[in-house]
Amino acid sequence: MFGFIKAQGGQAGITVTLLAVPLMLAVGGAVELTAVSRDKTILQEAADAGALAGAGRLTLATYGQNTSGINSFATQTAYKQLQGIGDSVDVTFTATTDLQKGTVEVRGLAKRKPIFSAITFGTELNILARAENLQRTPLCVLQTKDGGLTVRNTALIKAAGCAIHANHDIIVESGAMIEAERIQATGKVTGITRPQAGEGAMTIPDPFSDMDLKPPYPCLSLPLEIRVLSSQSVTLPPGVHCGLLQVGGSGRVHLLPGEHYFMSKIQLSNVAQLTGDDVVLIFDSDDKIDIADKGEVRLTARKSGKFAGFLIATSRDNTQTFSIKSDRVSQLLGTIYIPNAELEIETAGSVAQDSAWSVIVARTITLRKDPVLVINKNYAGSGVPVPEGVGPNRSAPALTQ
């Protein structure tokens, strides 16, 4: 009897031992999977950083240039991002540059020693990252933050030869269309675009977030409203304008060259005119411009100074709606920078078609009815420089792989 019990105990010990093996393998496998996932994430982020850094250097490259310096910079950047990788992981990065395509590709190969010797998966990891320098395609429309870009009814955006980017969704309703050299969104794209828009793009940050838009002095006196009606004509010097500017009838307002800070609204109606060459219109937090009826606008941005290339700008806390409801807004040459405000175009006919070039940076862009927003890119010879960060001066790269 005692021998039988002893035998049974021996069998139980063997059973426990046999069960422990797969249990240990299962636990070890789970631990190993976590480690592999962590290492792969670190490797991918490092390769991404290297590819972006290398693509950023392509602005200095010319066709036929030796690319070894760019490749070296890309791999060095990738190696510097390997913080947190295990000591048992041996990593090798290689980079290749295609000057013609404007891309830098970084490949990573990691050889790992498993935490548990009995586990054989995850011993080798392969990583690929590819970044393209967007300088080859001028950036002419940037929708910031969460506002989205919407084209309704039979509206059309024509941006031949340049790029349209949305940091949210692009919605093109039936009957409307967007045409550009390149169209992409960080979110979803619905409707017809030519070419087909890309989804899931990298976010493009505000290129002018550090620009100082404060007026040189505040409005100390009571605001003085300027009403230009009938056939009156007013010439407005640069400076800080504290009162409402209302132009109606066949009134005309001409802005003299310089910086015009509007601490109030501009309202244009009937067949009124607003013109100006070498000017920038900077609006305070609660102020905007409304162009209604047959109001005519022909404006050219600043040609020099700290606002060179800018036509319309707002303070960072401006969330107003800038509206164009006239089909006589033919010239908006320069950069419209309203990063937290809305731009609405609701008219019949073309807008900005006579501008040598235009750039729009806005939180929300909406076209209704049947306007044709024309974004030209005749940068050379316009007399107005393009700000660094948009147009052909956009040097920031973006991941494509």
CA 304 to chain centre: 25
Kindly compute the dihedral angle of the four CA atoms of residues 377, 382, 386, 392, in this order, to the nearest 10 degrees.
Answer: 40
> How many angstroms separate the Cα of 25 from the Cα of each of 11, 53, 221?
22, 41, 80
Which stretch of DSSP H or E encloses residue 47?
helix 2-56
Please name every residue paired with 111 in a beta bridge, in sequence order, or none if there are none.
90, 124
Encoded tokens for 171:
């919605």
The domain limits of the chain are 2-135, 139-399
Handedness of CA 340, 149, 354, 324 (dihedral sign): negative
Give 2-135's CATH code, choosing from 3.30.1370, 3.10.450, 3.30.160, 2.60.40. Answer: 3.10.450
- What is the residue-level pLDDT of the chain in tens, covering all 401 positions? 545 444 555 555 555 454 445 544 455 556 667 778 888 888 999 999 999 888 877 754 433 456 888 899 899 999 999 877 777 788 999 999 987 777 899 999 988 777 655 555 557 889 899 988 766 688 999 999 998 999 999 999 999 999 999 999 999 999 999 999 989 898 999 999 999 998 887 788 899 999 999 999 998 776 778 899 888 999 999 999 999 999 999 999 999 999 999 999 999 999 999 999 999 999 999 999 999 999 999 999 999 999 999 999 999 999 999 999 999 999 999 999 999 999 999 998 999 999 999 999 999 999 999 999 999 999 998 999 999 889 887 666 777 76
CA 164, CA 306: separation in Å to the nearest integer? Answer: 25
Q: Are 318 and 340 in contact (CB under 8 A)?
A: yes
CA 93, CA 102: separation in Å to the nearest integer? Answer: 20
CA 133, CA 74: separation in Å to the nearest integer? Answer: 13
Category of 136 on φ-ψ map: left (φ > 0), alpha (ψ -120 to 50) or beta:
alpha
Question: Which residue pairs, CB below 8 angstroms and at least 24 apart, start in 168-176?
Answer: 168/143, 170/197, 176/151, 176/152, 176/367
199-211: b (≥16 Cβ within 10 Å) or e = eebbebebbbeeb
